Structure 1
């Protein structure tokens, strides 16, 4: 079939006309213009293939079956169901993400109980909290690691659009024996839909409050029958903010725009035990970030950290990733090889009272991983082991200038950071009895980091540093899973986690030539999971002990990182789901967390022992209700989610507090067969404004606020086979 016969929604040509002026005026984005042209061309080819195979198989297609959310979940890194791994996890399908309007990773907290994800000033720095372990203490080295298709994501790219997602899996607690990159707080593992023989294409478009929109197109299918498969995914979205700038008259600041694409080629001959896949990904995000209002004046929605005459804040991030995956299957074992290359350029400028700060950065990383493990069932053990190597580079310049009443540049600081990790890891499960499993895991790693920086003014060097730090680390874990009755599992786990030693990625003084020590975590958890037909319940208790916690110390704008604290986080968590009537599902989840510093001396005579760790809510609770019923004009699925987030602090002195707040989300989805779907939704129905980030500035306390009420709709059209 010629491409002239392909439907226009599959060719996705609308992406080629969207704001090309951005590519012309941003040199860092020119590569992406070429990428988009290539992706669009590939999209036409794959879409034609998808449409052709769909027509050929029209008489043989059937409605896709819904995935069994709790019964068929298998660990990403090992052939084990989540409730049999001795740890707590969560598995979410792509359909569930769409139902909760999870368009980007920043929205994942809607579907991952006990997880808080908020921006710390901008989308470059997510503050992710899981079980009292938070990344807000060091924004460049988050405690929770994001993976996409077995590749660890650069920390400044953790907040990104989600397109063509097959599933998202959360593993709570340290995962050093399963993943190559250090994962102290946990792992959020994202898997995209991989192309195969079943042709599929979809188009989604939606609009929401504050002139927001999102458009996504995907297509995958066979390029050479039983041999070569391909996929294409493109997205464009915008989410405007709700803050105005009295200095410039600008409105709707605090939002962002994002465009991205991904293409995959998969070589998997039907009669061969091996396969290869190559993927390329590119994206650009830009907007007005670093926007703060008065801490006690949220409803004013006006920037409080600027003076008249200063410009609006601007931020852009453009990057591209390439990855190569290989796999070989033999006699119940699987050998996997993964190599990836990531690059990202950042342009950042924001006003700070009468000053303007510019902080461009360039990042690159290359990763190699070799993994060997069992697959299949009916063996007395399961094992996965791997070798991991990653090198990361960061170049950064920072300069602050007096902007009002006249422009006076201050010292310019340039820095180069390098971090390298080499690790061996492994995890094994012995099926001691039919209903008793013992798990043992370990990790040996060597981490190497270095920094070189200098600050100059008027041709003179004010300070400079050039240091390196190497360390060896050994970690282990042990777990036990016992099936007391059919469907009822009891588990316990003791595990170790860490964050490597290193240097401040944003040096401000000669003190940053001193490295901080590795942060160590010892984690304990016990829990139980019970499932029976249409009923599911999970309850657990955890205790985490942190040594040498890496925290920011010093005044705002001149902070450095030091291993200054010991802390602990303990709590209980639970989840329940019950289909009490056919088509009616009620659920609830929540946690109660106590997270405090046991000792903390910042070197300036301030002792914060006994105070709560910032960015850790005292409790989180949610209730869910959904139903579905068939009508003469399709299937209707209404639902609601009510979430309550307890009080939390934003500073180590516990002076900046966000009280408890509640959010109500409503949605209704209409589906006609498996091809068409229309959804309307209202998130944060009561328009509750709350703080997501705060600090003390020269003229008082300021905060970043939530978006408020968001009302929107989404239309999806799918062609071909939706199942995998």
Structure 2
């Protein structure tokens, strides 16, 4: 039975069963990560990284990135209330859903998602998730200025694998999933597939009809064909799809009773995502490997949302976007005189068709635009031993971005930017499993245009840049039973992109701000004798505008919207030798402001989550309770004071799984 935390404890449980708690000394196993495009030991990597086992997340009822983020220091999501569009917040830097770019990069098997739209995953069929914090533009380019979330799905092999599960829970929740993997031609050709369907009734009631208006339905699937014609060559063809068929967003009026609307416009979300990729690698000899990832990522953002919440259809917003990115990455990695190195080429092309509808009391607007762009980049990364216990890591990237906007009925606009992104890290391995390090890195987020602001002349905004310094310590102690990681950082942000909101649907971007972000990330995992494990994570962050004026308004010293000053996670788990386990976890997030003026807030909150399960042979049954105390933490005043984004209520679930 895998642990719900970062490392599976099945070897520990087996040792306890055979030897007894008095004789067995549990240890935390070695963990290998690949988020830096090369396989590296977690303990030896000079960076802040959290790693999660996919099967463990599944068993404890974690079905999305928003729930996973609660276990990562310095990582949250904006309170947005719409499935499939999740603006991430990492180390105080926020994504903006109207800019078609993100501050944090999402990778799924190496394929990038560069914006808040489509920043979602069911975590079904996943081997592990790696979260790397701090600017990563040297290796990953635009929109990795705050960090990277890398999802690695399970690869099929010679050993057949099958899993089937069903789930039921509160608010009419029902779900089912299937995963299969087997060899078509042993030793050469393999097939893997997975799929999940999940549906749940809503909790927001229509005042006139009494019906729930915010039901949720999500379907996802993945197919992979893996070919290994020789021991040196491997190719994987992958296709993945997600679809959402939801009701209205978790929105309501600040003046109406909680969790109720009286909307004359029916809200819905019918978004779709599809990814096709070809991943090919070849080893030319010891220490020399070439890898290519070619991908096509398409996301259809289709939403209709009422924003007046009254029977008369006075205000609503509607999006019908097709967001398409084609990307190609080539990289060569090897070793030279003890130094590990990587060099690569990256290119992508965006082609976004944007149709927007906005109903205001003054009339209906339906602007349409074509947003295109391209990126080309060269990058390299070296890890060089300097002397006994000292290692230098150095990297650089040269990248050029082009953006083209063609509004319907207006002249075409274009901008180009070039950026050099360096990274330098020095680490000292003071013990075999312990190190300290210092890192300087730079990151950036792509610039763009205010696509639906004809009154502003479709004003452009420049790239946002970050310069960061991080000092950290990490390792294992107490006979490998304690793993710790601590990082202190400061980030200087220039040309900060801030999302400003007027009336619902009137949203625009500005470069008005400079800011400084400082913080501390702490992680601690400890396994006790007798099957107990403790996991803790703490993120402290202070992001404040240094100088920020927007027209007559001055926001100097204000907090960056949606960025909490603190988030924390504490979990205690027990694995019994006879196959059952139980876990209690507390997660907390500090207060966030919803606007640059810092007038509207979502309060700080703490949630209690419980889970337990029993495994016998191929069968496992597990139960979970999320938000056991039914805590409310609504974001009151979203969209310049007009909207409440409701927090979800307590949720209970029971899951039955069969594995082969």
TM-score normalized with structure 2 length: 0.90
> Which range moved further: 147-156 or 445-454?
147-156
Deviation at 1:560, TM superposition (A): 2.0
Greater alpha carbon shift after TM alignment, 122-131 vs 419-428: 122-131
Instruction: Please state if 1:256 is matched with 2:204.
Output: no
Distance in structure 2 (CA, Å) of the matches to 1:69 and 1:120: 37
Contact 2:72 2:537 in 1 (8 A): no
CA apart distance, 1:488: 2.0
1:175 Cα deviation from its structure 2 partner? 1.0
Contact 1:195 1:230 in 2 (8 A): yes
1:490 corresponding residue in structure 2: 436
Deviates more, 1:83-92 or 1:515-524: 83-92
Tell me the residue number matched to 1:430.
384
Distance 1:259 1:137, change over 3 A: closer
Partner of 1:346: 301
Q: Tell me: CA distance 1:136–1:502, structure 2 relative to 1, closer, same or farther (3 Å).
A: closer
Map residues 31-42 of structure 1 onto 2, 5 A cutoff: none
Pick from 620, 631, 643 the counterpart of residue 677 of structure 1.
620
1:588 equivalent in alignment to 2:546: no
- SS at structure 2 position matched to 1:96: helix
Q: CA deviation at 1:128?
A: 1.2
Shift of 1:143: 0.4
- Worse-matched range after superposition: 260-269 or 437-446: 260-269
Q: CA deviation at 1:692?
A: 4.8
Question: What is the aligned length?
Answer: 625
| Distance in 2 between residues matched to 1:649 and 1:401, nearest whole Å | 27
- The whole-number CA distance in structure 2 between the counterparts of 1:68 and 1:296 is 55
2-structure distance, mates of 1:481, 1:511: 49
Instruction: Structure 1: give runs of 5+ residues left out of the alignment.
Output: 1-62, 455-460, 720-724
d(CA) in 2 for partners of 1:132, 1:69: 31
1:618 to 1:126, Cα distance in 2 relative to 1, 3 A: same
Which of 201, 223, 246 does residue 287 from structure 1 map onto? 246
Measured after TM superposition, the shift of residue 587 of structure 1 is: 2.6
Question: After superposition, what is the alpha-carbon deviation per residue over 1:178-215, rounded to whole angstroms, capped at 9, x for unaligned?
Answer: 22553011000000011111111111211121111221
**Distance 1:584-1:411 versus aligned 2 partners, 3 A rule:** closer
What are the equivalent positions in structure 2 for 1:243-642 lying under 5 Å apart? 243-251=204-212, 253-269=213-229, 271-295=230-254, 300-303=258-261, 310-331=264-285, 332-353=287-308, 354-374=314-334, 380-401=338-359, 410-454=364-408, 464-505=410-451, 507-532=452-477, 533-553=480-500, 555-556=502-503, 557-602=505-550, 604-631=551-578, 635-642=579-586
Deviation at 1:688, TM superposition (A): 0.6
Which residue is equivalent to 2:171?
Answer: 210
Q: Secondary structure at the match of 1:84?
A: coil
Q: Call closer, same or farther: CA 1:255–1:547 in 2, change over 3 Å.
A: farther
Give the CA deviation at 1:99. Answer: 3.6
Deviations 1:661-684 (A, max 9, x none): 1100011011113x2111011110
CA–CA distance in 2 between the matches of 1:289 and 1:479? 47
Give the structure 1 partner of residue 4 of structure 2: none
Q: Is the 8 A contact 2:593 2:600 kept in 1?
A: yes
Is the CA contact 2:281–2:292 (under 8 Å) kept in the aligned structure 1? yes
Which of 1 and 2 has higher RCO (CA within 8 Å, sep 6+)? 2
In structure 2, distance between residues paired with 1:649 and 1:149: 34
CA drift of 1:542 comes to: 0.9
Instruction: Say which SS state the counterpart of residue 447 (structure 2) adopts.
Output: coil
1:412 is displaced (CA, Å) by: 2.1
Matched residues in 1 for 2:150 and 2:367: separation?
36
Secondary structure of 2:456's partner? helix
Superposed CA deviations along residues 452-511 of structure 1, whole A, max 9, x for unmatched, are 113xxxxxx6xx342000111111010011111232210111100001221134x13242
Farther off after superposition, 178-187 or 331-340: 178-187
RMSD: 2.3
Closer, same or farther in 2 for the Cα pair 1:110/1:356, shift >3 Å? Answer: closer
The SS at the match of 2:62 is coil
Is contact 1:248–1:312 with CA below 8 Å preserved after alignment? no
In the alignment, is the contact (CA less than 8 A) between 1:136 and 1:615 conserved in 2? no
Deviations 1:238-264 (A, max 9, x none): 23332122255431x334211121111
Is the aligned partner of 1:654 residue 2:608?
A: no
SS at match of 2:43: helix
Query: For residues 181 and 632 of structure 2, what CA distance do their matches in structure 1 show?
Result: 41
Q: For residues 183-198 of structure 1, what are the structure 2 equivalents within 5 Å?
A: 183-198=144-159
Structure 2 residue runs of 5 or longer lacking an equivalent are 1-17, 19-25, 309-313
Which residue of 1 is the match for residue 194 of structure 2? 233
Pair 615,581 (structure 1): closer, same or farther in 2 beyond 3 Å: same
More helix by share: 1
Alpha-carbon separation, structure 2, partners of 1:364 and 1:550? 23
State the distance in 2 between where 1:626 and 1:296 align: 43
State the partner residue of 2:112: 152
Aligned-pair CA distance for 1:530: 2.8
C-alpha distance 250-687 of structure 1, shift in aligned 2 (>3 A): same
Secondary structure of residue in 1 paired with 2:56: helix
CA distance in 2, matches of 1:499, 1:361: 21
